[in-house]
Chains A and B, each alone.
Chain A
Amino acid sequence: DIQMTQSPSSLSASVGDRVTITCRASQRISNYLNWYQQQPGKAPKLLIYAASSLHSGVPSRFSGSGSGTDFTLTISSLQPEDSATYYCQQSHGTPQDSFGQGTKVEIK
């Protein structure tokens, strides 16, 4: 199975800051990588698919990049509503263990 590791596990940043979350796969997965946002008490929502494609309706301050084993989710200008936990998910191999452990983003 492919293991996904996110860093950091949590971060605190101010409104307007640029925030970067990384996700590393235990083997090469090309660009078979998705990102989800889970706000407190809510279901996850798709942000980015195929590593860099922005899902419909998602603000353009969110962007994704990477290929192979290393991927990045960037929030260009952090907003209060971005306080959430972010998960990467690989779709290259079996779905078991496909999610990263999550990165909690808090607003200072």
Chain B
Amino acid sequence: EAGVAQSPRYKIIEKRQSVAFWCNPISGHATLYWYQQILGQGPKLLIQFQNNGVVDDSQLPKDRFSAERLKGVDSTLKIQPAKLEDSAVYLCASSRIWGQDNTEAFFGQGTRLTVV
């Protein structure tokens, strides 16, 4: 089966600009996650969707970050305006159904964002 697809793979922007990342989860996966991974640290969950509804966005900086998952399939994560500290790899993951025992998450390769 095809994996989680993310684009772009790399992005360089200037601070105060806006940027958007796209994620296409594995077909049939109801749960979608966005993580931020700063160099040298483990991934940090930003937002979790169950179909097109938000399950957890407690660590999403809502003043500048937004995410949507229209129709419960693809998702976009946007940053506006970007700050230097937003430089990180943004990872998208999906899993079959949230809450079940065998719900391992499958990750995409990520988008590496550099803010200059």
A joins B in a complex: no
Q: B: which residues have CB within 8 A of A?
A: none
Q: A: which residues have CB within 8 A of B?
A: none
